[in-house]
Amino acid sequence: MRLARFLAPALLLGGAALAEPPFRLGVQTHFEQGWSLDLLPRLAEVGATLVRDELDWAGIETRPGEYDFAPADAYMAPLAAMGIEVMVVQTGTNPLHDAGNTPHTPEGRAAHAAFLAETAAHYAGQVTRFEIGNEVNAGESIGGPFKQDPARELASLARAAGPVRARAEVLCAGTNTIPMGFLRDFFRSGGLEACDSVSVHPYGAPPETVDLEIGRLRALMQEMGGEKPVHVTEFGQWTDRPEESAGFLVKSVAAMAAAKVGDAIWYALIDEPWWPNMGLFTPQGQIKPAGLAYAFVQKNLIPLGRPTDVSPTRAARIFAYGGEGQAVVAWGAGLPVEVRGTAQAFDATGNPVDLPSVLGDDPVILLGQGIEIVVKGAPVHDSLFHYDLPPWSYHARRPDIGLTPLEWRDWQWASFRGAPDLSPLAINANWITTARFGDRPYAAVERFTAPAEGRYRIEGWWQAADGAEPSAIRVLLRGEVLAQGETGAARFEMPPVERDLAEGATVEFEVGPAGPDGDGSVRRRIRIEGPLP
């Protein structure tokens, strides 16, 4: 029996917790791009107090050194009247400077810095944060010579903006995913020192593991000279099932806030033509499940301060808000639980539900007093919840060699487990891809190592990506094939199998190529329960 009891975070963490800045939940808007001001009431409907938007540098500075903010005032003034702060993401260019390319000369960078300073002065009190760069690692919003070495150029641009730091916080670099390779180059070029905070868009990082990715980012900052605050300036979910976004939002907010993220900005307020399923509202203003979740979180959780991660196991994610167990967000990998104390339960959109007896993938929100959650049953070892944590390890099965370990591969996008000579073979929290070289198959292998002697229940499923080649699945225990098959239009499922395992015994879950190209891509979920009582 594992007990998660919720005490005041300040009592648990000491005085330092009292000085910690609050977590803020914002939302992306695009009023600078021409969104109608008729959308402003939607911000009030969900309780947003912080938005991320842009200013048109070229439309404001139409003569060198002369600034007219009237075009931006058209939406900035109504936002200010609503008490909404604006985080300005500065990605624009100006034909007056560097021939309209992304600033890359000393003169262009100085003009950019002067524009930021004028903006901070004009919108004093409303604009207190500037974000320099937006998904530069993906080649977004940059042009001209800047593109030759984006990491170095972005560091130079941020360094030139140094004087504005006396008026506002400077965030860098709004990367798409948490691209450790790009960020290392950016930090090595002086970007970490030039900025007050680091901003990322952890797309692809599931709520179950986003704290681990943020932890790797913090470790990199410490290695490169010193840790800075982390902001998530975009997060969201592309999905064909709108109800999934509500749970994703609730889980992500809890996990990121507990991981000491500063601000987190949902992308976006409304569905857009190029991102047609990520909004809190439809373009016509109808609230979606994600909008209901956002509003419920803003009203009931954010005022209680940062949550504390009190999970007794990674397979049961439990986050406590408030000083006396006033609110809890919880989900898990199918673990039985008992809720104690005075509590009402709600789903991610705020609809009342029964108190949970099992924690599943959908989060439950508990509001009340003195809440305790007792996690029962045998330990669960889940391939998603425990990604890159013991008792899991990651390998490639090479022809004529056998198993070799996979290492972290850091590059311009999200990191993964792989090898320098085996691309596209990769394993991350969401996907596995295979490879074939010279008609020789290379398989990706997830290995489970039993932490204790006993009986274990093993099950899982594997689903090919749309349009992907089939993959061959094998589950092996000491040479015994527990399951085998291929992915296709339907997922391949391994029904529960029980086996006695000695401490240190391994079960291998192999995904190999079954098509001519060999680059199969699959989602999967493996669940191992045990030792069973």
Same domain, 474 and 335: no
Cβ-based neighbours of 160, under 8 Å, separated by 6 or more: 103, 106, 109, 110, 112, 113
Same domain, 313 and 331: yes
Q: What is the predicted pLDDT for the residue at 323?
A: 86
Same domain, 105 and 240: yes
Domain annotation covers residue 347:
yes
Alpha-carbon distances, residue 383 vs 12, 130, 258, 319, 447 (angstroms): 30, 38, 22, 21, 10
Percent residues over pLDDT 90 in the chain: 94
Chain-centre distance for alpha carbon 261: 11
Q: What is the predicted pLDDT for the residue at 310?
A: 97
Tokens (6 digits) for 65: 């050194």
442 and 401 in contact (C-beta within 8 Å)? no
Domain annotation covers residue 279:
yes
Helices 180-188/150-160 angle, 10° precision: 50
Q: What is the predicted pLDDT for the residue at 21?
A: 82
* pLDDT at 391 exceeding the cut of 80: yes
Tokens (6 digits) for 470: 């089939």
Domain end, chosen from 345, 378, 411, is at 378
Cβ-based neighbours of 315, under 8 Å, separated by 6 or more: 332, 333, 335, 379, 380, 381, 382, 385, 386
Q: Are strands 85-90 and 316-321 parallel, antiparallel or unpaired?
A: unpaired
Same domain, 329 and 455: no
Domain annotation covers residue 12:
no
Instruction: Compute the distance between CA of residue 178 and CA of residue 411 in angstroms, rounded to an integer.
Output: 10
Domain end, chosen from 378, 410, 436, is at 378
Q: What is the predicted pLDDT for the residue at 202?
A: 99
Same domain, 117 and 235: yes
Cβ-based neighbours of 70, under 8 Å, separated by 6 or more: none
Same domain, 150 and 238: yes
Instruction: Please give the full DSSP string across 124-149, using - where no structure is assigned.
Output: TTT--EEEE-SSGGGTTT--GGGGGS
Q: What is the predicted pLDDT for the residue at 201?
A: 99
Residue 468: give its domain's CATH number: 2.60.120
**pLDDT tens-digit map of 116-154:** 999 999 999 999 999 999 999 999 889 999 999 999 999
> pTM value?
0.95
Domain annotation covers residue 3:
no
Cβ-based neighbours of 119, under 8 Å, separated by 6 or more: 55, 69, 88, 127, 130
Same domain, 241 and 316: no
Segment (H or E) for 77: helix 70-81
Range of the domain at 500: 381-529
Average pLDDT over residues 331-360: 99
**pLDDT tens-digit map of 399-439:** 999 999 999 999 999 999 999 999 999 999 999 999 999 88
Q: What is the predicted pLDDT for the residue at 440?
A: 95
**pLDDT tens-digit map of 174-220:** 999 999 999 999 999 999 999 999 999 999 999 999 999 999 999 99
Same domain, 276 and 325: no
Same domain, 112 and 99: yes
Same domain, 57 and 194: yes
Same domain, 119 and 227: yes
Cβ-based neighbours of 349, under 8 Å, separated by 6 or more: 243, 246, 289, 292, 293, 296
Domain annotation covers residue 6:
no
**pLDDT tens-digit map of 72-114:** 999 999 999 999 999 999 999 999 999 999 999 999 999 999 9
Domain end, chosen from 304, 323, 346, is at 304
Q: Pick left, alpha or beta for residue 109 (phi over 0 → left; psi -120 to 50 → alpha; otherwise beta).
A: alpha
Instruction: Compute the distance between CA of residue 441 and CA of residue 437 in angstroms, rounded to an integer.
Output: 7
Alpha-carbon distances, residue 462 vs 258, 396, 446, 465 (angstroms): 31, 18, 13, 10
Three-class SS state of 350: coil
Domain annotation covers residue 227:
yes
Q: Are strands 440-449 and 435-437 parallel, antiparallel or unpaired?
A: antiparallel
Domain annotation covers residue 217:
yes
Same domain, 368 and 389: no
Q: Are strands 506-513 and 471-477 parallel, antiparallel or unpaired?
A: antiparallel
Q: How many domains does the chain have?
A: 3
**pLDDT tens-digit map of 280-306:** 999 999 999 999 999 999 999 999 999
Domain annotation covers residue 208:
yes
Residue 226: give its domain's CATH number: 3.20.20.80
